[in-house]
Structure 1
Amino acid sequence: MLSQNIKVSANDSSNDGLESIMPHFVLCVRDFNLELEHNGEEMTADEYLEMCLQTKTAETQEDEKYNRPRECIKRYFTRRKVFTFDRPAGRKVMRTLDLAREEDLNEDFVHETEKFLAYIYTCPGKYLLNKSPVTGSMLAKLLREYVATISDGNVPCVEDAIMIMTRQENEKHAKVAVEEFKVFLKQIQLPVYDKNKLCNSNLKFKKEQLSSLQSKLMFDTDSKFQNSTEDEMQTLYEEFEKHNSKLLYEKCINTLHKMHETTVKVNIEKGKYATSGGHDVYDQDMRVLYDEYNNELKNIDIAERRKAQHDFESKMIHENKLMVTEDKKLTEKESKELMTTKLNTLKTELIQSQKNERIKLEAKLDDQRRFYDEKRETAKRKEKERERRIADEHREELRRMKEEFEYEIKREREKRIAAKERRDMENERRRLNERERALEQNKWCYLS
């Protein structure tokens, strides 16, 4: 019996709900030539079928054998329909029936065929146990599962077959949703500057897809398929967002390199920074470059811009160090040259001053020699001794001044040498003048 070769549920052997999943029973009787009447009264084909399905009182084994198929049909096929077809045409037409025209066919046969087609086309679709309509692909999966189970010698279980079919259908719908999400991502032109807009667009489309998927899923009470599909979409979006971030980073870093090539690097080649204080100029140009970079790419998320800028600055550390080293060398060189120039100037001024003082002294001595010409011979020896002593003292003074001067120069290299040197030189000049005045007074005293 059918009830012994198929079951509704794996946990229930009663098969009480089997009739709910059985198809309509449609009986087509060809070449029907009986009269549809009973006890002299006409009946319909359906009434004729119901009459034929009447059972006998089971008194013998033959009666049970007679009743069994009729009971099964009435039990499991609650909707039953019969179509009785006359012979399609005469013998001559039947030989070439596939080439026959409609007007060559029996009128009663054509009429019954039209009724049959109208009934079949208007029959409602089948539904699963959860009232979900059965589609063609679902029916094919169910049939394959039934055939495979029967071929293995097992009893087909409707519930198991439906769950297998449901899982396959859910997997198909989930796969379709994921594929549509992939198509959605492929349609987005990269890179997308506004990450918030990209995220909102993703959330909106994903919400629509998941809502549509939820309406198609069957028996997904634990939301297994919906959650796995959402997770897969999220993974795809995260990979997509990571790729978008990579493109944004590449655009930022390429923009920085391009700006650097056309501005700062050109200035380096021209020697703009090859001067004292060049690093400050270089640093200012780099700040201008970063300002222009952020202004040009202001539509890109600030985090992406800062990351690219930080990496670019790391690559520019060597160049920055070169600018600092070169600036330091040039500054030290210019300072040294300036000190040398100042020292030479001071030396020249000192020599010229000494020369002028010597000329003045010699002129005064000449005047004194002319004035004291009569006493020249007497005072000549003393005068020579005095002049020798003065010269020795003068040389000693010059030597001492030289040592002090060199010492001051050494100290001035460390801090404000120029100002202190001038003060020292002025003090020296005043001491010389005082000594000269003292010498003149001594001369006058001696001559007097």
Structure 2
Amino acid sequence: MDAPVCLVDNTSDGSLIVNQDALNILASLRKPVAVVSIAGKYRTGKSYLMNRLAGKSAGFSLGSTIQSHTKGIWMWCVEHPCNSDQHLVLLDTEGLGDVEKGDKNNDNWIFSLSILLSSTFIYNSRGTIDQHALEDLHFVTQLTQCIKVESGAEAETGEEFVRFFPSFVWAVRDFTLDLEINGEEVSADDYLENALILKPDSSCKASLYNEPKRCIRNYFSSRKCFVFVSPTTRKNMKRLEHLPDKNLDREFVEEIERFCQYIYDNVKAKVIPPGTELNGAMLAALLELYVDSLLSGNIPCLDNAVTSLAIIENSKALADAVKYFKEMMEKTMNFPTETVEELSNIQSQYEKEAIAIFMKRSFNDEGQKYQQEMEDTIKTLYQKYCQQNEKASEDKCRALLDSLQEPIADRLKNGQYAKPGGYNLYAADQQMLECMYSQAPGKGIKSDFILKEFMKEKQNESQSILQLDKSLTKKEKEIKAERERRALAEQELKAQEQQMAAMEQQKQAMEQSHKEYIKEFDKKMADDRAKAQAEQERILAHRLAEQERLIREGYQQMQPQRRVILLCNIL
């Protein structure tokens, strides 16, 4: 993308509308998407940071007045500077608290969407991280009113948000203080952690004071802080996007470079439980699910959204896999094949590739519904191809026999067999026909069956010529008739053996196909279990780290029983 586009627009009545053109752009991104979103008070310089992440000085609109400039959510998809296996998607959001908008619901929606869609969430503010700044972040305390994890849950604490939420980065702009605490120099991260220390008090006032801090600590599994001095003079701020770095404050430029590099190095692909990475199409579908839920007056349910997305993606995975299998089979197959095994080998190759396509895209396939449907569909298609193969073999064999028997038909018409010695001539011609038929290549798997049918069809014709041949004695005619019956019986046996062999090969092919599904499913399940385990360990590590921080922050001085109660409430 050369420039950003509006992804979610605000309508005049305060509603939201998703831009289809932007969704189409997202849907074209086949690799996993690393999504960085930014939110914060309006006119705090969010768009400038996002332009720098895009590697540009301009793109997202900055504006130069006291009015909010970005409306809705704007998207810019760019090449990931450090990971060619991912796309980098930047989301710039409308400033929160715009007095001209006068719609708190809209602010809550924009804030919630920016968190739900991103893998790294940047909160942008000015000045310092004090209680006033934390109160400005009151949207985070209202997330339990805007989002729920489980369907049907009457009330939620938000403790499960960490499963779905992104990493958290606080960008403090126009920072003028020294990074010191109790006379000691500290890092920006230490500054943030100090600002998030809770009051070990169970009073209502302390609870309100702690709430935004508690939410940040519990909802986001990792957090980072950057502090930026003012980039230039107030006069030059109006044309900030046009100023080269040499005309900006050196400390500001250095922090911007550290900020961008941190994001590039640490932003992960957007994932949903149990660790499924989203591509652009999946992110677009997830956005539509969230917006539809908001506009319907419902609270977006994260588990329901994942389930709905799984249905969408599994259906597409099934369609893509079956389409690939059909296209490759129809492109490659040249009916008839000499054996069922030849057809089965080709089928097996493309079925494995189709399974890989399905497994790569599918997730949360409850009860293996879609996998079973795929197995049944490809089994049906295989049987159809087997039938086509048989039909092609039958048609080719009949056409060959029709061609070979034309001279015999002409002699029969001309009466060459209706005279003494005619039967021996007819039998020799038939034997030559069968020999030429047997040597002809490419007849397929029904060659013996069609020859048997041909011999049965000619049986009456042969018997008539035999009985009319006056050069043969009665005994000779009986011997020759018996010889024909034995030849037909032998051909029937060959046809049965050919048919049985074909059926056995088909059976073996389907059994092998089923084993392949079992193997790939077991592999997928093991991978999903590993992802789920890693996710549980990540969440547990986060909660244990928070507990250790609480203890270091002074909770160890409290009475053990009261400390346990507070820790449980907080964690």
What pairs with 1:38-437 in structure 2 (closer than 5 Å)? 38-55=181-198, 65-90=208-233, 94-123=237-266, 124-191=268-335, 192-207=337-352, 209-210=354-355, 213-214=358-359, 217-220=362-365, 222-261=367-406, 263-268=407-412, 271-297=415-441, 300-301=444-445, 304-312=446-454, 320=461, 324=464, 328=468
* Larger displacement relative to structure 2 (155-164 or 217-226): 217-226
Match for residue 10 of structure 1? 151
Sort the Cα spacing of 1:92 and 1:259 in 2 relative to 1 into closer, same or farther, 3 A. farther
Does the CA-based 8 Å contact 2:329-2:346 persist in structure 1?
no
For the residue of structure 2 that corresponds to 1:187, the secondary structure is: helix
Superposed displacement of residue 72, structure 1: 1.6
Alignment partners' CA distance in 1, 2:400 and 2:272: 61
Match for residue 396 of structure 1? none
Output one character per residue of 1:121-170: Cα deviation in whole Å (capped at 9) or x when no partner. 22244543323344444333333322222222222222221122222222
Superposed displacement of residue 256, structure 1: 1.0
For the residue of structure 2 that corresponds to 1:300, the secondary structure is: coil
Does the CA-based 8 Å contact 1:21-1:128 persist in structure 2?
yes
For normalisation by structure 1, the TM-score amounts to: 0.62
Superposed displacement of residue 187, structure 1: 3.4
* Larger displacement relative to structure 2 (123-132 or 172-181): 123-132
Alignment partners' CA distance in 1, 2:248 and 2:419: 111
Alignment partners' CA distance in 1, 2:432 and 2:450: 16
Superposed displacement of residue 270, structure 1: 5.6
Alignment partners' CA distance in 1, 2:458 and 2:325: 42
Output one character per residue of 1:411-433: Cα deviation in whole Å (capped at 9) or x when no partner. xxxxxxxxxxxxxxxxxxxxxxx
Sort the Cα spacing of 1:247 and 1:97 in 2 relative to 1 into closer, same or farther, 3 A. farther
Output one character per residue of 1:252-284: Cα deviation in whole Å (capped at 9) or x when no partner. 1111111122x3234346653343443453243
Alignment partners' CA distance in 2, 1:171 and 1:114: 43
Output one character per residue of 1:200-242: Cα deviation in whole Å (capped at 9) or x when no partner. 3323542454366446543335222221111111112222222
Q: CA RMSD in A?
A: 3.4
Sort the Cα spacing of 1:316 and 1:31 in 2 relative to 1 into closer, same or farther, 3 A. farther
Alignment partners' CA distance in 2, 1:54 and 1:225: 48
Superposed displacement of residue 171, structure 1: 2.4
Sort the Cα spacing of 1:298 and 1:68 in 2 relative to 1 into closer, same or farther, 3 A. closer
Number of residues of Structure 1 aligned to a counterpart in Structure 2: 325
Alignment partners' CA distance in 2, 1:264 and 1:11: 82
Superposed displacement of residue 249, structure 1: 1.6
Alignment partners' CA distance in 1, 2:408 and 2:245: 91
Alignment partners' CA distance in 1, 2:465 and 2:398: 26
Match for residue 515 of structure 2? none
Alignment partners' CA distance in 2, 1:189 and 1:152: 50
Does the CA-based 8 Å contact 2:420-2:470 persist in structure 1?
yes
Does the CA-based 8 Å contact 1:6-1:156 persist in structure 2?
yes
Sort the Cα spacing of 1:58 and 1:100 in 2 relative to 1 into closer, same or farther, 3 A. same
Does the CA-based 8 Å contact 1:255-1:293 persist in structure 2?
yes
Sort the Cα spacing of 1:4 and 1:99 in 2 relative to 1 into closer, same or farther, 3 A. closer
Q: Which amino acid aligns with 1:167?
A: I
For the residue of structure 1 that corresponds to 2:397, the secondary structure is: helix
Output one character per residue of 1:59-114: Cα deviation in whole Å (capped at 9) or x when no partner. 666x6544332222222123222222333344675444444434344322322222
Q: Which amino acid aligns with 2:146?
A: N
Does the CA-based 8 Å contact 2:400-2:437 persist in structure 1?
yes
For the residue of structure 2 that corresponds to 1:166, the secondary structure is: helix
* Larger displacement relative to structure 2 (15-24 or 124-133): 124-133
Match for residue 10 of structure 2? none
Sort the Cα spacing of 1:100 and 1:240 in 2 relative to 1 into closer, same or farther, 3 A. farther
Match for residue 431 of structure 1? none
Sort the Cα spacing of 1:307 and 1:102 in 2 relative to 1 into closer, same or farther, 3 A. farther
Superposed displacement of residue 190, structure 1: 0.8
Match for residue 69 of structure 2? none
Alignment partners' CA distance in 2, 1:317 and 1:42: 107
What pairs with 1:23-42 in structure 2 (closer than 5 Å)? 23-42=166-185
Structure 1: gaps (5+ residues): 333-448
Sort the Cα spacing of 1:158 and 1:324 in 2 relative to 1 into closer, same or farther, 3 A. same
Alignment partners' CA distance in 1, 2:321 and 2:172: 47
Alignment partners' CA distance in 2, 1:29 and 1:60: 29
Superposed displacement of residue 174, structure 1: 2.4
For normalisation by structure 2, the TM-score amounts to: 0.50
Alignment partners' CA distance in 1, 2:236 and 2:419: 113
Sort the Cα spacing of 1:60 and 1:296 in 2 relative to 1 into closer, same or farther, 3 A. closer
Sort the Cα spacing of 1:283 and 1:89 in 2 relative to 1 into closer, same or farther, 3 A. farther
For the residue of structure 2 that corresponds to 1:46, the secondary structure is: helix
* Structure label with greater radius of gyration: 1
For the residue of structure 2 that corresponds to 1:28, the secondary structure is: strand
Output one character per residue of 1:384-404: Cα deviation in whole Å (capped at 9) or x when no partner. xxxxxxxxxxxxxxxxxxxxx
* Larger displacement relative to structure 2 (9-18 or 181-190): 9-18
Structure with a larger share of its residues in strand = 2
Output one character per residue of 1:262-317: Cα deviation in whole Å (capped at 9) or x when no partner. x323434665334344345324312321232122247632xx11333355457667
* Larger displacement relative to structure 2 (209-218 or 161-170): 209-218
For the residue of structure 1 that corresponds to 2:171, the secondary structure is: strand
For the residue of structure 2 that corresponds to 1:82, the secondary structure is: strand
